[in-house]
Structure 1
Amino acid sequence: MNREIYIELGWEDDLEYHLPNEVDKFGRPVPHRKAVTGTDRRGNASLMSVVGIMPVVVHGFADNEPHTLVIFEWNIISGVQDLRFKSVMIEVSFLAHGPRGEAENEAQELRHAGFSSHYWNPEVVKAVPSGTSTYKRSTRHIGGKETYELGFSVGFQPYFSLSPKYSLERDTSSEIVDAIRVTGQPFVMSPDRNRPDSVRWIMLENESKRSGVPAYMRTAVLLKRQPNDNGLFLGTVKVETHISWWEDLKERKRRLTGQIRRDEPIVFDPHVVQSSAFDSKRQQLDEVDLDADFSSLYGFAGGHPG
């Protein structure tokens, strides 16, 4: 029989955490903050957290159209014995914000024509990892063999009786393949557009092995901006986790009662150029091999790999 041990993490003192953007001397938010989520947690809350950072942002071009390459790193911190992350979902959405820079004249014309500001949301043209990958595969057997006995009697009791029995056997066993699954998928968040402006990554543990999810994942997103658009855009990060029904219930209650405040959106500014290992690809960002360079994960956040 499996038993789950529930430990009170005592997060009540840490409910006001949220990551703000720093501001410059003019009160403007500083773009491209490195800390994405989770690093602000204190005390026991920091022991079970998803810590995301954004080490690289590259604004450039592909086919003479403005693009942006964003790299994220996610560390799954599982520091409480007997607790593990059974699933982690990370969503990142990108939203145009404010004037559109060199494309502002066109933006004004489109606004007068009834176009929504979502028209200028960056489009996710590629994200890694994408699709579904499996790791630490294992097999288990369920079911077995079922036996049925059939009997009948003939004759005239008590003088004569014949009661043969027949046995029928049916094999009901089957083999189930379990694995750690990592899924990535761009999707549309804004209601009035048909180009993906968001990406979702999901990590699921190997349930039969109680493996927990990978302890680290590196992801990347290539964004396409509208021609001449060098206005600001925002990145909103949403993280949902599954630890146990009790811990999940407490987390939902805190969110519903407003005890947990959301992190501020990340500010992206195409005018800000930061040095990186991809400077030589700044004019051809579509030539960066995202699958080879950024889709990596290792370790397991709790449990025992199969």
Structure 2
Amino acid sequence: METEANAETVNLELFEAGGEEGSDFHVFNISDDHYHRTEALQRTGAIDISCNLKKVVHGAISPDSDRYATLLVLQWGFKPQHNTRRIAEATIELEFTPSADGGDVEVERISFDGSYSLMPTTQSESVTRGAEVSLGASYFADLSIGGKWEKTVDSVSSDAISVNGGMHLVNNIPPYRRVKWTLLENETQKSGIPASLTVAVLVSREDQEKFYCGLGFTCKTDKKTAAQSFFKKIPKDDPIIFQPDPREKGKRPHRNILYGDDELGSVDLEKLSDVTFTTIVTRATKSRE
């Protein structure tokens, strides 16, 4: 952990992807054929953090394309256990890696690619600047006048919660295989990042071999959260194993896995994505007969 002026940095590494012998992460997949793990990541503590694999579609970029494709949707949740706890900044990373027998995997598109603002706010300020002045005997023979000139400057500042996303190379070697999203709180309000972020990723592949997705997470919290044990445990997660072959169901098959869509390149990823700051329950009062 690295302490800064108003926040604590907690770095949960982007762990090695694959599954080869000798990897030093703890095993959380049930077996080598535990495909499309629903519970992608989970941390518990002053702030609970989770990532669930909501949907996966295996198919092709287009009917006339020579590239296979996979569409995946992940939902991240950030739930403070106390009203005074908050995450000021969070960075999510995914890294895709082919299996030992598979061809290359490339990130084609992601949702929230670029800079996005949520719930913008404005704040007005009036600043008064002044200086003492004196008019002496050179102007008035027997009178000295002292006073203060003042100038008021009105300014309006704006701020917002922001989501910044992008695709990146690994070790400066094409193609894109890593994606990253950064969430920043509204610094004026200091009310934390959104409670939920749903993102979509489209990757293309050379073949129908299985591939992997490693997850990473870094965040900055308020000082009270940092002073406590932020996470009860920080496990090293197995990567999610994706199996495009519909004949290989594996253990505990995910019910939201689809196969055979050959037009994944035309899917609007933004329609599959969402940002939620908080959920309001409008019918919380119930009567019993």
TM interval, shorter chain, is: 0.7 to 0.9
Separation in structure 1 between the aligned mates of residue 27 and residue 123 of structure 2, nearest angstrom: 43
**Runs (5+) with no aligned partner, structure 2:** 1-24, 248-253, 280-289
For each residue in 1:11-31, what CA deviation from the matched residue of structure 2 results, as whole angstroms up to 9, or x when unmatched? xxxxxx9771111xxxx2412
More strand by share: 2
**Under a length normalisation based on structure 1, what TM-score does the superposition of the two structures give?**
0.69
3-state secondary structure, aligned to 1:209? coil
Separation in structure 1 between the aligned mates of residue 190 and residue 203 of structure 2, nearest angstrom: 36
C-alpha deviation, 1:52, in angstroms:
0.6
Separation in structure 2 between the aligned mates of residue 50 and residue 78 of structure 1, nearest angstrom: 9
Matches for 1:154-169 after TM superposition, within 5 Å = 154-155=137-138, 160-164=141-145, 167-169=148-150
Distance change (3 Å), C-alpha of 1:64 and 1:249: farther
1:291 lines up with 2:270 in the alignment? yes
3-state secondary structure, aligned to 1:207? coil
Which of 268-277 and 168-177 deviates more?
268-277
Distance change (3 Å), C-alpha of 1:127 and 1:155: closer
- Percent identical residues: 23
3-state secondary structure, aligned to 2:59? strand
Greater RCO, CA 8 A, separation 6+: 2
3-state secondary structure, aligned to 1:197? strand
- Corresponding letter in the other structure for 1:84: R
> Do the aligned partners of 2:59 and 2:259 also contact (CA within 8 Å) in 1?
no
C-alpha deviation, 1:172, in angstroms:
4.2
Question: Which residue number corresponds to residue 115 of structure 2?
Answer: 132
More helix by share: 1
3-state secondary structure, aligned to 1:124? strand
**Under a length normalisation based on structure 2, what TM-score does the superposition of the two structures give?**
0.73
Question: Which residue number corresponds to residue 262 of structure 1?
Answer: 236
**Runs (5+) with no aligned partner, structure 1:** 1-16, 104-119, 302-306
- Corresponding letter in the other structure for 1:287: S
3-state secondary structure, aligned to 1:247? helix
Separation in structure 1 between the aligned mates of residue 241 and residue 196 of structure 2, nearest angstrom: 24
Q: Write out the 4+ residue segments of structure 1 that deviate beyond 6 Å after TM superposition.
A: 249-252
Separation in structure 1 between the aligned mates of residue 266 and residue 218 of structure 2, nearest angstrom: 32
Separation in structure 2 between the aligned mates of residue 233 and residue 262 of structure 1, nearest angstrom: 19
3-state secondary structure, aligned to 2:108? strand
- Corresponding letter in the other structure for 1:34: T
Count of residue correspondences = 246
Separation in structure 2 between the aligned mates of residue 19 and residue 168 of structure 1, nearest angstrom: 71
Question: Which residue number corresponds to residue 95 of structure 2?
Answer: 93
Distance change (3 Å), C-alpha of 1:89 and 1:18: farther
